[in-house]
Amino acid sequence: MARKVVDEPSEDVVANAKKDRETKRGPFARVSLFFKQVITELKKVVTPTRKELLNYTGVVLVFVVIMMALVSALDWVFALGVTWVFGTPAG
pLDDT digits (tens, 9 = 90+) for 37-61: 999 999 999 999 999 999 999 999 9
The confidence score (pLDDT) of residue 17 equals: 74
Region for 25 from its dihedrals, namely left if φ exceeds 0, alpha if ψ lies in -120 to 50, beta otherwise: beta
Least confident range of 13-17, 57-61, 65-69, 73-77: 13-17
Higher-confidence residue of 17 and 79: namely: 79
Distance of CA 1 to the CA centre of its chain: 19
Query: Does the pTM exceed 0.85?
Result: no
- In total, the chain counts a number of residues equal to 91
CA distance 11 to 23: 19
Residue pair 44/5 in contact by the 8 Å Cβ criterion: yes
Domain ranges of the chain: 11-86
